[in-house]
Amino acid sequence: MRSSPGGMGGVLHVRTPQEMETLYRTWLHQPNLPRDLKAELEAIVDDPAAIEDRFYKDLEFGTGGLRGVLGAGTNRMNVFTVRRATAGLARWLKAHEETAAERGVVIGYDCRRMSREFAEEAGRVLAAAGIRAFVFDHLCPTPELSFAVRALGAAAGIMITASHNPPEYNGYKVYGPDGGQILPDVAKAITAEIEQISDLFAIPALERAEAEEKGLLRWIRSEMDDAYVTAVLDAVRQPGVAEADRAQLRIVYTPLHGTGLVPVREALQRAGYAQVTIVRAQEQPDGEFPTTRSPNPEEPEALELALQVARDVDADLVMGTDPDCDRVGIAVRTGPGEYRLLTGNQTGGLLTWFLLEQRRKAGTLPSNGVVIKTHVTSELGAEYARRLGIAVEDTLTGFKYIGARITAYERTGEREFLFGYEESYGYLVSGIVRDKDGVQGCLAIAEMAAALKREGKTLVDALEALYQQVGYFQEELISRTLPGADGLEKIRRLMATLRSHAIDVEGLRLLAVEDYKTLERRWVQPEESALAEKAGAATSATPRTEPLHFEASDVLKYLFDGGNWLAVRPSGTEPKIKFYLGARGSSHEECERTVGRMRDAVDRVLASV
């Protein structure tokens, strides 16, 4: 077995052709292999490339768990890889959590292919290990799984979802007792336990009836749904928004065939939003996502049907959530039949402004408040928060890091959490959940739109006013997919090259390079750096290097003059490399020119891959 760098900064074991062939034969002749998996393997008997893709490695258990294409093989999502991950989790829980067996593990699932089956398989494996499994008996959004872990005092949680990925994907996310996704140190420890399990076909799993009879498999009913929506209403509704304002707002909402329909509709209706139109063609859960090429609200095409409906009913606001309802995409009416899509950075910035302004007006803005965002998220909202004297904290990419900081502050009382957000359309208003929450997001966005409509304004008007107050910002994400073992090697080589040769952007002066793998910021122009002055360092004594206080991660961030920046990292869940571009200027036009120059620089880098 060959080795190459893995997704968590560890080692990815890549099998030899002989090892892949042996595994393929073992799976093919496995007597208990489901028919569909056996047929899939029989169909590729003369296709070495297809065999390699399924068996060249084990599906990696990264910081969020598993995610991959459904199918046969060790590099696929199937009942056997789910059982192995669950058995490893059980081993870790029993070794590190004395009360894990009694407290149990909550398991939720979305509408994707095999989600219900995977959830039940995970429950049966936990039951065989003597650990209680609390499994939803119906679809639930990811944030409700996080809420349920906390509500039941469980030792852990499992969510079966692939978020916004295409239909052929599914995934398995693990949550800690605080309701947040596990962090890299725990993921690494669970991975070590998983790797001790070599025979995927010998993992014990109690039959459902026996597990139920022993009280090791219990079902979560609709009472949890009501408790969750009630908690969202109590936490998110704003006292400054009147019932009449809510009643007058016209909303179009689409769950994009996912889990959001029931909780989002319920939250909006109970809050007083009487004019909510659901996109009927996308109302029912369907893991094939038949009416959209992408169930990802980050993609403009995801809201196409919703925009058609919005024009018919003259809606003020359009909202769509992804399949597991943890992300929200929106569009705002700007004129008769005209709508403008907002980015996650813009929506996050607006929500920061709105929520803090509501607290300020009510006299409830705490002196120790904190807004938390990821380090590849726009400074738009952060800049407004700082002007109010509110602390802003950056984390690594991934909402799990935001959730971890909320938990840390909850324990120490040092800070009061006010809002968390990331550029990829994830928002969190209240710590009742420790992951991004599409239900909270939809209700908060509706509250903001309703308050603005009372003043004769839209979210677009508010966005422009915010730009004029704190400066103009523009961001862009560029992704390149490089699948297979060869793709992983190309990503590794590219990151190594970028560490030794910084990206050159025409017209921008590089000030510093932040390497989150070595946890070091290296100043290229320390004597001229406005960032150094902002940090309070004397210009003449500014060090050429300084530490970064994060967990190690394979990320590079380039800081340019004028508050412009560019970051690059491999995806933690997909075979992609991602470039994040951030511009700041005195106008939209200046930001667009800067982003264009960054885009050209990234294109040159990718042309060499």
Measured CA to CA, the distance from residue 207 to residue 201 in angstroms comes to 15
Terminal-residue alpha carbon distance, the chain: 26
Average pLDDT over residues 538-553: 75
Residue 527 has what pLDDT? 47
- As a 3-state breakdown, the chain gives helix, strand, coil percent values, each rounded to 5, of 45, 20, 35
Active site residue 163: yes
Residue 95: other Cβ atoms inside 10 A: 11
Q: Write down the H helix ranges in 238-379.
A: 243-248, 261-271, 304-313, 344-362
Average pLDDT over residues 375-393: 97
Measured CA to CA, the distance from residue 100 to residue 90 in angstroms comes to 9
Residue 256: other Cβ atoms inside 10 A: 32
Adjacent-strand bridge partners of 254: 320
Average pLDDT over residues 158-178: 96
* Cα angle for residues 181, 236, 104 (degrees, 5° grid): 35
Measured CA to CA, the distance from residue 253 to residue 400 in angstroms comes to 27
The dihedral built from the CA positions of residue 545, 550, 556 and 561, taken in this order, carries a sign that is: negative
Residue 16 has what pLDDT? 94
Average pLDDT over residues 370-393: 97
Question: What is the H or E stretch that residue 115 is in?
Answer: helix 115-128
pLDDT at residue 526 tops 60: no
Collapsing DSSP states into helix, strand and coil, what is residue 487? helix
Q: Which residues, 6+ apart, have CB-to-CB distance to 405 below 8 Å?
A: 370, 372, 393, 395
Q: Which residues, 6+ apart, have CB-to-CB distance to 80 below 8 Å?
A: 200, 201, 203
What is the phi-psi region of residue 190: left when phi exceeds 0, alpha when psi lies from -120 to 50, beta otherwise?
alpha
Calculate the alpha carbon distances from 212 to 207, 208, 370 in Å: 9, 6, 44
Cα torsion at 31, 37, 40, 46 (round to 10°)?
Answer: -40
Contact in structure between 474 and 595 (CB atoms under 8 Å): yes
pLDDT at residue 63 tops 80: no
The domains of the chain are located at 60-224, 472-607
Average pLDDT over residues 602-608: 94
Average pLDDT over residues 323-330: 98
pLDDT at residue 82 tops 80: yes
Q: Which of 480, 482, 448 is nearest to 465 (CA)?
A: 448
Measured CA to CA, the distance from residue 591 to residue 321 in angstroms comes to 29
Sheet with strand 576-585: strands edge to edge: 472-481, 576-585, 565-570, 556-560, 510-515, 520-523, 545-547
pLDDT at residue 67 tops 70: yes
pLDDT band of 250, cuts 50, 70, 90: very high
Residue type, 484: G
Residue 575 has what pLDDT? 78
pLDDT at residue 252 tops 80: yes
**Residues 115, 146, 163, 424: which is the catalytic one?**
163
Q: What is the pTM of this model?
A: 0.93
Average pLDDT over residues 222-231: 98
Residue 504 has what pLDDT? 94
Right CATH for 472-607 from 3.40.50.200, 3.40.50.2300, 3.30.310.50, 3.60.90.10: 3.30.310.50
Measured CA to CA, the distance from residue 323 to residue 346 in angstroms comes to 22
Q: At what angle do helices 115-128 and 79-96 cross, to 10 degrees?
A: 40
- List, as own/partner pairs, every contact residues 95-103 make where C-beta atoms lie below 8 angstroms and the sequence separation is at least 24, other chains included: 95/193, 96/189, 97/155, 97/156, 97/177, 99/155, 100/131, 100/155, 100/156, 101/130, 101/131, 101/132, 102/132, 103/132, 103/152, 103/153, 103/154, 103/155, 103/177
pLDDT band of 485, cuts 50, 70, 90: confident
Calculate the alpha carbon distances from 366 to 287, 383, 414, 431 in Å: 43, 17, 12, 16
* Cα angle for residues 13, 16, 18 (degrees, 5° grid): 140
Fold: same for 60-224 and 472-607: no
pLDDT band of 537, cuts 50, 70, 90: very low
What's 559's DSSP letter? E
pLDDT at residue 529 tops 50: no
Sheet with strand 169-175: strands edge to edge: 66-69, 169-175, 156-160, 105-109, 133-136, 217-220
Residue 9 has what pLDDT? 41
For the chain, percent of residues with pLDDT exceeding 90 = 89
Residue 191: is it exposed, middle or buried by C-beta count within 10 angstroms (0-12/13-18/19+)? Answer: buried
Measured CA to CA, the distance from residue 326 to residue 305 in angstroms comes to 20
Average pLDDT over residues 505-509: 96
Fold of 60-224: Alpha-D-Glucose-1,6-Bisphosphate; Chain A, domain 3 (3.40.120)
pLDDT band of 10, cuts 50, 70, 90: very low
Residue 479: other Cβ atoms inside 10 A: 11
Question: What is the H or E stretch that residue 419 is in?
Answer: strand 416-422
Where do the DSSP E strands lie in 110-208?
A: 133-136, 156-160, 169-175
Q: Give the pLDDT confidence of 423-480 residue by residue, as tens digits.
A: 999 999 999 999 999 999 999 999 999 999 999 999 999 999 999 999 999 999 999 9
Average pLDDT over residues 375-382: 97
Calculate the alpha carbon distances from 232 to 164, 190, 440 in Å: 23, 32, 6
pLDDT at residue 538 tops 80: no
Measured CA to CA, the distance from residue 52 to residue 33 in angstroms comes to 19
pLDDT at residue 2 tops 50: no
Mean pLDDT of the chain: 93
